[in-house]
Amino acid sequence: MVNIMNLSVNIAGVKFANPVTVASGTFSDAWDMKNIKQLGALIPKTVMLNAQAGNPPPRIVETPSGMVNAIGIENDGIDAFITQKLPIYAKMGVPVIVSISGKTDEEFVIMAQKLNACPSVALIELNLSCPNLKHKMLVAQDAEATARIVALVKKVVNKPIIAKLSPNVTSIADIASAAEQAGADAVSMVNTFQAMVIDVEKQKSKIGNFTGGLSGPAIRPIAVNMVYQTAQKIKIPIIGMGGIANADDALQFIMAGATMVAVGTMSFIEPDTALQVLNGIKAYMRAKKINDIRALIGFLK
């Protein structure tokens, strides 16, 4: 008899068939969707309350083993998302995690309420890499602001909430801890690292927005360490990401303490990366005779 392998994981009562998902902003219905059904969850690009055109081009530039992007959350607004995109994602048959970002506390609350009324939304991810009004930093760079928004949203929804954290901080574990205390059901980490690339020939930035965020395999070891440091400090689950290109990379995040892993930038280079990661994790578990993925989560102490 074949040994039954358990790949399923659980975040705040929501069950995922496996721990592999796609990172916000690196997946949409423009993708060939055939393989998506096999993943644990899907996370579409961050939506905002109102439609936004995004940043002027050039928006991307490649870097050693990665890329810098400044897309500027080009999106059609939450209402268009709910009526036009959500039904498409809901049909995939895997839990849908919707990422939202607000320009104000109020906007986060309004969007969360709208999503709370949608049965096809499994969890809500708060992209906190947004300006923190009155302060010259991002919400995700300020433990108090992070806690404030998590608590506000938590008050108006009964769906689980994930706080997506920025790595551009002194101690990401402290911010994660603030999110946990405010009631977050999970944290998702890491977003991109603030970065810039200069065109010395043209003597200007290679990014229309001047600076952008670095992602891809270049950031992976830093992200793994951040997940590890954070896992030592919080009890809620972590969705780990940052440069995952294969099962080995994903297993590093899991052993460092991530309950789920998300594939981002590498899907642009190899569209089937997330699926290959999933298959590779299965092969690893078979080879190591591990029956339950949960035995690997935070394995490294």
Partner 1 sequence: MKNQFKLKILSNKKITDKLYYLILEPGKLAAQVKPGQFIEVRISDGLEPFFRRPFSVFRCQKSVELFYEVRGKGTEILSAKNKGEVLDVIGPLGTSFSLPSKKVKQVVMIGGGIGVAPFMALSDTLNNKGYELVLLYGGRNKDYTFNMSEFKKNGCKVFVSTDDGSVGVKGKVSVLFNKIKADAERTMIYTCGPRAMMASVQDFAKKHGLKGECSCEEVMACGVGVCLGCVVKTVNGYKTCCKDGPVFRLDEVVF
- CB proximity list for 120: less than 8 A, separation 6 or greater: 86, 87, 89, 90, 96
Provide the token pair at 151.
């608590």
x-or-dash string of contact with ligand FMN, 57-76, rule CB under 6 A: ------------x-x-x---
User: Count of H helices and E strands in the chain?
Assistant: 9, 15
Type of residue at 191: N
- Supply the minimum distance, in Å, between the C-beta of residue 11 and ligand FMN: 17
Q: Which of 130, 165, 244, 263 is catalytic?
A: 130
The listed partner (ligand FMN, partner 1, none) that binds 90, CB under 5 to 8 Å by sort, is none
Do the beta carbons of residue 76 and residue 51 sit within 8 Å?
yes
242 is a contact residue toward ligand FMN (CB under 6 A): yes
213 is a contact residue toward partner 1 (CB under 8 A): no
Query: What single DSSP character describes residue 25?
Result: T
276 is a contact residue toward ligand FMN (CB under 6 A): no
Q: Which residue is nearest to ligand FMN (CB)?
A: 25
269 is a contact residue toward partner 1 (CB under 8 A): yes
Residues 49-88 that bind partner 1 (CB under 8 A): 53-54, 56-67, 69, 71, 74
Whether 130 is a known active-site residue: answer: yes
Q: How many residues does the chain have?
A: 301
Provide the token pair at 148.
């404030």
Residue among 84, 104, 271, 300 that touches partner 1 (CB under 8 A): 271
Do the beta carbons of residue 262 and residue 22 sit within 8 Å?
yes
Query: What single DSSP character describes residue 216?
Result: S
191 is a contact residue toward ligand FMN (CB under 6 A): yes
Provide the token pair at 19.
């721990």
